[in-house]
């Protein structure tokens, strides 16, 4: 999906400010939003990222990271039929009129330990499947210039650009949004190296390169001799 969330390569947003010793959560409510996401594993139609990407551009630019998560979770629960817009507005109005009213709490030590176990469990997303990569290390390729209607990990600024395979990771689940009823099969995943001038032209910083992790379906081969794209793979 093309939208304000795909900010890579865009100008006018200023530098990225890195916060020294940044805490995991700046406020207690951020931790609660994270807990909502982990402890309520309800399938969200279209996926959580899709809800964030459909935010109003002005709202997207003025909300924090966990505010976006909260928006996505609320909209997802409404889309999944867990709660209704009317129920949400009624609860918001109640706490707006009664800010000192206690918030309902549920004590569940076993549930807490279960969720903590999930968070701390190290599981590799790499899949042990006998799929052979179609692009060897060093292969020249071009990124397909596609514009999926749903969530995609393919940034706009790299579409149609040429790169070289720098690393092969293995086979992983494809994480782009798919139409209802369609499940995309796992795919080989690569690190692709792009020269800065290929991406930014003459304004690129000298000797700059960008590495992007990309699924095989994003990529098309280039014939090394002619410099033209080969048959779609």
The 3-state secondary structure of 98-128 reads CCCCCCCCCCCHHHHHHHHHHHHCCCCCCEC
CATH of 140-221, one of 3.30.565.10, 2.40.50.430, 2.30.30.50, 3.40.50.300: 2.30.30.50
Distance separating alpha carbons of residues 45 and 47, to the nearest angstrom: 5
Q: Is 50 helix (H, G, I), strand (E, B) or coil?
A: helix
Say if residues 188 and 171 touch (Cβ distance below 8 Å): yes
Report the range out of 2-6, 26-30, 220-224 with the highest average pLDDT.
26-30
Give residue 231's pLDDT: 47
Give residue 12's pLDDT: 81
pLDDT in tens, 69-102: 999 999 999 999 999 999 999 999 999 999 999 9
Tell me the pLDDT of the chain averaged across its residues.
Answer: 89
Distance separating alpha carbons of residues 88 and 173, to the nearest angstrom: 34
**How sure is the predictor about 116, in pLDDT bands with cuts at 50, 70 and 90?**
confident
- Tell me the HSE value of 120 on the side-chain side, using a 13 A CA sphere: 6
Domain boundaries, the chain: 28-120, 140-221
Say if residues 143 and 229 touch (Cβ distance below 8 Å): no
> Which strand (E) or helix (H) includes residue 68?
helix 65-79
Give residue 232's pLDDT: 44
pLDDT in tens, 126-172: 999 999 999 999 999 999 999 988 889 999 999 999 999 999 999 99
Please determine whether the domains at 28-120 and 140-221 fall in the same fold group of CATH.
Answer: no
Its sign, for the CA torsion 170, 177, 40, 61, is positive
Distance separating alpha carbons of residues 224 and 162, to the nearest angstrom: 12
Distance separating alpha carbons of residues 138 and 219, to the nearest angstrom: 14
Burial (CB < 10 A; 0-12, 13-18, 19+), residue 117, is exposed
142 versus 1: the higher-pLDDT residue is 142
Give residue 178's pLDDT: 81
CATH of domain 28-120: 1.10.472.20
Q: Residue 131's closest CA among 190, 76, 179, 84?
A: 190
Distance separating alpha carbons of residues 37 and 77, to the nearest angstrom: 11
């Amino acid at each position: 999906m093309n939208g304000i969330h795909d900010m890579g390569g865009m100008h006018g947003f200023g530098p990225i400010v890195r916060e020294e010793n940044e805490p995991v959560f700046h406020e207690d409510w951020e931790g609660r939003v994270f807990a909502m996401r982990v402890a309520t594993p309800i399938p969200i139609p279209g996926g959580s990222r899709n809800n964030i990407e459909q935010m109003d551009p002005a709202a997207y630019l003025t909300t924090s990271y966990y505010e976006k998560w909260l928006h996505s979770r609320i909209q997802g629960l409404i889309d999944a039929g867990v709660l209704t817009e009317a129920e949400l507005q009624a609860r918001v109005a109640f706490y707006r009129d009664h800010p000192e009213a206690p918030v309902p709490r549920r004590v569940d030590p076993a549930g807490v330990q279960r969720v903590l176990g999930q968070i701390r469990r190290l599981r590799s997303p790499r899949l042990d499947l006998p799929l052979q990569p179609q692009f060897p290390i060093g292969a020249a390729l071009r990124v397909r210039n596609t514009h999926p209607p749903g969530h995609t990990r393919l940034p706009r600024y790299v579409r149609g650009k040429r790169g070289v395979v720098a690393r092969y990771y293995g086979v992983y689940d494809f994480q782009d949004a798919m139409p209802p009823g369609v499940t995309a099969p796992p795919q080989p995943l690569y690190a692709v190296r792009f020269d800065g001038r290929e991406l930014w032209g003459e304004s690129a910083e000298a000797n700059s390169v960008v590495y992007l992790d990309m699924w095989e379906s994003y990529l098309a081969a280039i014939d090394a001799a002619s410099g033209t794209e080969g048959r779609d793979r």
